[in-house]
Amino acid sequence: MAYQELKSHRDLKVYQLAYKLAMEIFNESKVFPKEEKYSLTDQIRRSS
C-alpha cells in the first residue's frame, strides 16, 4: 500500500469527508423556514 505525504490536515480523507458533509448541511439549512433562522438553523450550522 502506497502512502501519500500529508502536507496539512486538509489532505486527510476524514477531513475532506467531514468538510463535505458540513457544506451539505449548510446548504440544506438554507431552505429552513424563516422562523427557524436564528434558532434551529444556527444551532445545526454551528454543530456541523
What are the tens digits of pLDDT across the range 2-48?
A: 677 888 999 999 999 999 999 998 898 888 777 777 778 778 888 87
11: left (phi over 0), alpha (psi -120 to 50) or beta: alpha
The per-residue pLDDT for 41 is: 77
- The DSSP H or E segment spanning 34 is none
Structural domain of 40: 9-47
DSSP string, 1-48: ---PPP-SGGGSHHHHHHHHHHHHHHHHHTTS-GGGTTTHHHHHHHH-
Give a yes or no: residue 42 inside a domain.
yes
Q: Is 3 contained in some domain?
A: no
Which pLDDT does position 2 carry in this prediction? Answer: 60
With respect to residue 39, please indicate whether it lies within any of the assigned structural domains.
yes
